[in-house]
């Protein structure tokens, strides 16, 4: 393909097809389950059928005596071996000033279970079927305890508690802003808008479920874990710490990953249990979750109840914002689950609007449900949904046009850098510019004609908008890469950011091509090996702006080093050496040496650079997403009939990949708006949505038209040398409010403006029909 042969056609800014795809489409991908070491053992977990119970006893003797069974482990076994619980709410506090609390999160439940699906025992056998059969023979005697399934139950007086350290079931709490200043602003406001909003619990469904293969090297005794994860170094550290071994004695390898969506960040209970089994048995042990296990025990997303209030003056200028949110973090308050709701979401709660007076109260509440953690957007979708629903409702209640209301409150470009009331500094942003372009892209002014055409077919048409930003980066700004120019004509780059289906290897390769000016087939990007390099991994839409920037800097440093070597070979001063497209020349002469020839002349037949660099801060991608929907008033069904977006993601490395990220993210956001929800039975604590028969995943037909997606590259980020901004979560964050605002607009246009404040996600046909018809 001549795109590969030409550096100028493969460099950044070009819509290059992903390098990863040929192998994946041909079935040559290498996922965790594709690796089958000799004498591999298989593992199956015994899981709790109760939402809350004491473990009276675990009788595993019958299972241990069954054919093929190598070992059975219980929570008591792991505690006796010194396996430590996973870390929890460190750094967060309760309202009384004491440290945040969580029940101890053991790899296998010890003494007590707190949600349906919590692992209680681990069976290891020669085959998967033998392990399954033996798991059914493990008898666990439970003493059932009262459970709290909902936030209301957990916070009610006299509710059953999940841990004595939190008698009110509140794991942690944070307040931001000024209670008094906000109250004063509300007192003088002309308009006061209030909404109670539900951000339902979601399942992060990846094509490849969680998969772990743990083994021990017979020569040096080191633990090696091959797994499907976004953050190999973090998993290695957590597992090693839990097992009580030095981190250097553990290695995590990652091959192809069939999706992450934030759910595959950090270590899970199962990872620790598998690692312990392999470490004890000195054999390879594999576990691949089935879909039901993923619904039961993989960290869920969202699940927040919010009371939101907005104060405005007579001209529509926002005077203050008051938010009270309670997050159902499930049975165990993980550090990630707490940080997302108490800190990360609030960082963007005021979004693109010039609001400095706030009163935020965020609580992380324990219930007998599976824990929550990162899911695409991680706190920012909740925050943006809050403010965008408030903005549209404010427009309805004040009579101010919703576009004019946004214009009156946008942070202006001349205010940059802008510090929001959460002390977060936006380096750049032209928010009105993005909205103006989106309005034109979506033909906003032509909506009435389209609404009339819909009405002629018996449909109610609605128009929704979301103007917003998000924070990216995980606040980990340092990244290490190695660059190796090899004598055989390859440039190999290793990075600790990780592939999970997002095409990061292609984008990094494009940056290498940019710097070295060599054909793409001369570049090899290697990821996913903690022995080759530590790093934060891929989360928080950081891979390009931190990892990509590190690749750029590392490549430039490699050329600088090679220039010194070329100067010696060509007997010239380094400042006279010019580099272009794989060759060094002496200025004003015909003296020349190729990059790979130069590498071949070195003692190790390579030019190697170990480079660590940092970016200056997070990025603040932003955009304006506009949707149009049709409601069937007879059934309550909603169809998305148009979707247009203008997105400021700074400089774009690969438009094809970026567009795919934006559109794929938007589909997930539409899914939350219209159909997805993890449901637990209020009385029994049993999950109702436990398979794809019960959980409504968005399908290809969720959008009845093509996405119209554009990027504005005129406002590059100032915090990194590439000028890029994170993109992986932007579509998800913008889509949900854009869709729900469109449904509310359809109701308001058809005489139901009084019911728009009652609209909740997911906007399913039965729920909407009930709202419409009383």
Over residues 290-314, mean pLDDT? 97
User: Using one digit for the tens of pLDDT, what is the confidence trace for 477-536?
Assistant: 999 999 999 999 999 999 999 888 888 999 999 999 999 999 999 999 999 999 998 888
pLDDT of residue 6: 53
pLDDT of residue 2: 37
Q: Is the pLDDT of residue 587 over 90?
A: yes
Stretch 135-153: mean pLDDT? 97
Q: How far apart are CA 133 and CA 309, in angstroms?
A: 55
Please measure the distance between the N-terminal and C-terminal CA atoms of the chain and give it in whole angstroms: 61
Q: What DSSP string runs through 566-593?
A: HHHHHTS-GGGEEEETTEEEETTS--EE
Percentage, residues of the chain above pLDDT 70: 99
Binning pLDDT at 50, 70 and 90, where does residue 8 land? low
On whether the pTM is more than 0.85, the answer is: yes
Please state the rounded mean pLDDT for residues 715-730. Answer: 95
CB-based burial label for 685 (10 Å; 0-12, 13-18, 19+): buried
Q: Are 326 and 312 in contact (CB under 8 A)?
A: no
Quote the percentage of the chain above a pLDDT of 90. 92
- For the stretch 25-76, pLDDT in tens is 999 999 999 999 999 999 999 999 999 999 999 999 999 999 999 999 999 9
Q: Residue 481 phi/psi, 5° resolution?
A: -135, 160
Is residue 12 pLDDT above 90, yes or no? no
In this prediction, residue 3 carries a pLDDT of 38
Averaged pLDDT of the chain? 95
Domains and CATH numbers, the chain: 2-30+474-614 (3.30.365.10), 37-145+222-285 (3.90.1170.50), 149-204+299-421 (3.30.365.10), 429-472+618-774 (3.30.365.10)
> Which pLDDT score, from 0 to 100, does residue 90 have?
80
- 1 has pLDDT over 50: no
Which residues touch 118 (CB under 8 Å, ≥6 apart)? 47, 48, 109, 269, 297, 331
Q: What is the mean pLDDT of residues 634-640?
A: 97
Between 372 and 475, where is the model more confident? 372
Determine contact, residues 49/129, Cβ cutoff 8 Å: no
Give the pLDDT confidence of 334-346 residue by residue, as tens digits.
999 999 999 999 9
Q: What is the pLDDT of residues 239-283, one digit of tens each?
A: 999 999 999 999 999 999 999 999 999 999 999 999 999 999 999
Please enumerate in sequence order all residues whose Cβ is within 8 A of that of 245, keeping only pairs 6 or more positions apart, or say none: 223, 279
Alpha-carbon distance of 424 to 412, in angstroms, equals 16
How many Å apart are CA 306 and CA 309, to the nearest integer? 10
Residue 5: pLDDT band (50, 70, 90) is very low
């Amino acid at each position: 393909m001549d795109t590969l042969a030409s550096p100028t056609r493969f460099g950044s800014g070009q819509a290059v097809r992903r390098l990863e795809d040929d192998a994946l489409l041909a079935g040559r991908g290498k996922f965790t389950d594709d690796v089958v070491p000799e004498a591999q053992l298989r593992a199956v977990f015994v899981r709790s059928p109760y939402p809350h119970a004491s473990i009276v006893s675990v009788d595993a003797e019958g299972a241990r005596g069954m054919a093929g069974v190598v070992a059975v482990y219980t929570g008591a076994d792991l505690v006796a071996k010194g396996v430590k619980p996973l870390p929890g709410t460190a750094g967060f506090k309760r309202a009384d000033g004491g440290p945040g609390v969580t029940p101890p999160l053991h790899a296998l439940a010890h003494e007590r279970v707190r949600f349906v699906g919590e692992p209680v025992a681990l069976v290891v056998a020669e085959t998967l079927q033998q392990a399954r059969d033996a798991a059914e023979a493990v008898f666990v005697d439970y003493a059932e305890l009262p459970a709290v399934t909902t936030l209301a139950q957990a916070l009610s007086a006299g509710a059953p508690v999940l841990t004595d350290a939190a008698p009110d079931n509140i794991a942690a709490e944070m307040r931001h802003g000024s209670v008094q200043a906000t109250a004063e602003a509300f007192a003088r406001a002309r308009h006061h808008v209030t909404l109670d909003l539900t951000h339902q619990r979601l399942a992060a469904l990846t094509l490849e479920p969680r998969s772990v293969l743990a083994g021990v090297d017979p020569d040096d005794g080191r633990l090696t874990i091959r797994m499907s994860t976004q953050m190999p170094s973090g998993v290695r550290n957590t597992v090693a710490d839990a097992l009580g071994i030095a981190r250097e004695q553990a290695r995590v390898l990652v091959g192809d990953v069939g999706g992450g969506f934030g759910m595959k960040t950090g270590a899970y209970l199962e990872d620790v249990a598998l690692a312990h089994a392999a470490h004890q048995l000195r054999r390879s042990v594999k576990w691949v979750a089935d879909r039901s296990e993923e619904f039961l025990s993989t960290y869920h997303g969202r699940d927040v109840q919010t009371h939101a209030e907005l104060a405005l003056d007579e001209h529509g200028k926002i005077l203050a914002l008051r938010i009270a949110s309670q997050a159902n973090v499930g049975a165990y308050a993980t550090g990630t689950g707490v940080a997302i709701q108490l800190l990360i979401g609030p960082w963007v709660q005021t979004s693109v609007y010039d609001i400095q007076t706030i009163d935020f109260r965020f609580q992380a509440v324990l219930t007998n449900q599976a824990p929550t953690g990162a899911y695409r957007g991680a706190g920012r979708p909740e925050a943006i949904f809050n403010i965008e629903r408030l903005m549209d409702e404010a427009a309805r209640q004040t009579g101010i046009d919703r576009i004019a209301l946004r214009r009156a409150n946008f942070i202006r470009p001349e205010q940059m850098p802008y510090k929001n009331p959460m002390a977060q500094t936006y380096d750049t942003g032209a928010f009105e510019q993005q909205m103006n372009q989106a309005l034109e892209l979506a033909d906003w002014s032509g909506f009435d004609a389209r609404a009339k055409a819909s009405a002629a077919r018996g449909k109610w048409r609605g128009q929704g908008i979301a103007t917003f930003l998000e924070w990216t980066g995980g606040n980990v700004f340092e990244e290490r890469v190695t660059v190796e120019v090899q004598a055989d004509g390859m440039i190999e780059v290793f990075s600790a950011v990780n592939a999970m289906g997002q095409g990061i290897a292609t984008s990094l390769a494009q940056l290498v091509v940019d710097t070295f000016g060599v054909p793409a087939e001369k570049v090899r990007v290697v990821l996913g090996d903690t022995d080759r390099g530590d790093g934060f991994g891929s989360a928080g839409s950081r891979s390009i702006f931190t990892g990509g920037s590190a690749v750029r800097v590392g490549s430039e440093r490699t050329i600088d080093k090679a220039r010194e070597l070329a100067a010696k070979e060509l007997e010239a001063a380094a400042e006279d050496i010019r580099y272009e497209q794989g060759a060094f020349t002496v200025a004003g002469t015909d003296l020349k040496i190729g990059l790979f020839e130069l590498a071949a002349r070195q003692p190790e037949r390579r030019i190697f650079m170990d480079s660590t660099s940092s970016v200056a801060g997070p990025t603040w991608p932003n955009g304006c997403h506009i949707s149009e929907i049709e409601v069937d008033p007879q059934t309550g069904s909603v169809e998305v009939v148009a979707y247009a977006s203008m997105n400021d993601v700074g400089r774009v490395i690969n438009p094809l990949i970026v567009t795919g990220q934006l559109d794929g993210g938007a589909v997930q956001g539409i899914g939350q708006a219209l159909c997805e929800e993890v449901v637990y039975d209020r009385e029994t604590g049993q999950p109702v949505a436990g398979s794809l028969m019960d959980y409504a995943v968005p399908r290809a037909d969720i959008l009845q038209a093509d996405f119209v997606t554009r990027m504005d590259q005129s406002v590059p980020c100032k915090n990194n040398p590439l000028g890029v901004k994170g993109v992986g979560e932007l579509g998800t964050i913008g889509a949900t409010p854009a869709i729900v605002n469109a449904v509310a607009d359809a109701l308001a246009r058809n005489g139901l403006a009084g019911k728009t404040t009652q609209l909740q996600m997911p906007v399913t046909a039965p729920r909407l029909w009930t709202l419409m018809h009383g």
